[in-house]
Structure 1
Amino acid sequence: MKSSKKSLRWGIQAACALACLVVVPVHAQQDKQVYRCPGNLYTDALSPKEASAKGCKTLDGAPITVIQSVVPRGTAPAKASGAGSESKVQSEDQKARDADARRILEAELRKEEEALAALKKEYNNGQPERKGDERNYQKYQERVEAMKASVTRKEADVAALKRELAKFGVAP
């Protein structure tokens, strides 16, 4: 809810900023000439001699329009909502939570490693035994490809669990 209010406030501020754009026509005054210099620089602060020396050309006819926008204010960091220090977890509680999470991850890793070993045994290095209903070679090949994908997926799962355990300082 807070993020939607924040984004709504930001959207309103952006809409106001766009609506408040000030378009200021700058007309060349009688005594001032507007020059267009190399590098797309427009100025009226040069004398005719300086302008010709820099390779600037006078602008005749169309006035220059300068658009000035309102710079949006930086967003303030979000404050904690009322809870203060009560929401902090005691160090003993955090250690207990970490130990529980580590035990769960270790159990999950053992289960996944056992499933991976069973899949690899059945896969038999890409040469699984044919089943009775696989007289068609294409059907056999499809099963081999599905098994290969399963082995790859399980290996990725095991690697992810090992990475998670490494965050707890446990060597896999």
Structure 2
Amino acid sequence: MSRVGQTTAMVLALACASGGAFAQSESGKPVYRCPGTPVLYTDSLSAKEAKEKGCTTLEGAPITVIASPRRSAAPSAGAGTSPAATSPRPDARVDPNDQRMRDNDARRILELELRREEEALAALKKEYNNGEPERRGDERNYQKYLDRVAELKASLARKESDVAALKRELGKLQ
């Protein structure tokens, strides 16, 4: 089926409008509903082809055509811009002072984040209390207490892995 046929093939029959009028596409051709999986709505068939395939003409139904998305053509080698204009050159170097400032900023940010995570880890360890946290007033049901202990243990494991990852990142920068 041609691209134009595919575009018009995706036609949806919505609500019936007028009694005996035939549904027509934008081109003025009748629209056929052809059986199969998926059901095909098209205006690219002739009356003879439609009859052979068992298609029926849509009558009195307003239609909506959904156009298939257009694919953009890949730019050719000589089209407008050179690859060097769109991406940084591999031989281009960053000024050493700029790079040093970036590295220092990254290190400072990681150290700050590591401090926060270590503080949160210490608070979790204190609350976890080696697997025996204090029971709260709303934990009269022992299962609630056990659920909270399990959540604390999982949170503790996550925080420990976060701290370890931050330490690894800091190690890469030094």
Compute the TM-score of the two structures, normalised by the length of structure 2: 0.50
1:91 aligns with 2:96: yes
What displacement does 1:149 show?
A: 0.5
Question: What amino acid is aligned across from residue 136 of structure 1 in structure 2?
Answer: N
Return the letter of the residue paired with 2:84.
S
SS of 1:125's partner is helix
Aligned partner of 1:117 among 114, 119, 122? 122
Matched letter for residue 140 of structure 1:
Y
CA, structure 1 residues 155+142, in 2 after alignment: closer, same or farther (shift >3 Å)?
Answer: same
Match of 1:133 in 2: 138
**Kindly tell me: are residues 95 and 134 of structure 1, through their superposed partners in 2, closer, same or farther at Cα, counting changes over 3 Å?**
same
2:158 to 153, 156, 159: 153
Query: Which 4+ runs in 1 deviate beyond 6 A?
Result: none
Q: Report the Cα offset of residue 92 of structure 1.
A: 0.8
Change (3 A) 1:158 1:80: farther
1:81 to 78, 81, 84: 84
Distance 2:100 2:131 in 1: 45
Cα deviation for residue 107 of structure 1 reads 0.6
The one-letter code matched in structure 2 to 1:132 is: G
Q: CA offsets, 1:115-139, max 9 Å, x none?
A: 0000000000110000001011101
Tell me the alpha carbon deviations over residues 8-27 of structure 1, each in whole angstroms, 9 at most, x when there is no partner. xxxxxxxxxxxxxxxxxxxx
- Match in the other structure for 1:142: 147
Task: State, as a whole percentage, how many aligned pairs show the same letter.
Answer: 64
Matched AA of 2:139: E
Amino acid at match of 1:121: K
Paired residues, number = 94
State how 1:42-121 maps to structure 2 within 5 Å.
Answer: 81-82=84-85, 83-84=88-89, 88-121=93-126
Shift of 1:84: 3.5
Instruction: Quote the Cα distance in structure 1 between the aligned partners of 2:173 and 2:116.
Output: 19
Write the distance in 1 (CA, Å) between the matches of 2:170 and 2:83. Answer: 31
Secondary structure of the corresponding residue to residue 167 of structure 1: helix
Structure showing the higher helix proportion among its residues: 1
TM value normalised by structure 1? 0.50
Q: Which amino acid aligns with 1:122?
A: E
The amino acid of 2:129's aligned partner reads: N
Gapped regions of structure 2 (runs ≥ 5): 1-72, 76-81
AA aligned opposite 2:102: R
Q: Quick check: which has more Rg, 1 or 2?
A: 1
- CA-based RMSD of the aligned residues comes to 2.3
Match of 2:62 in 1: none
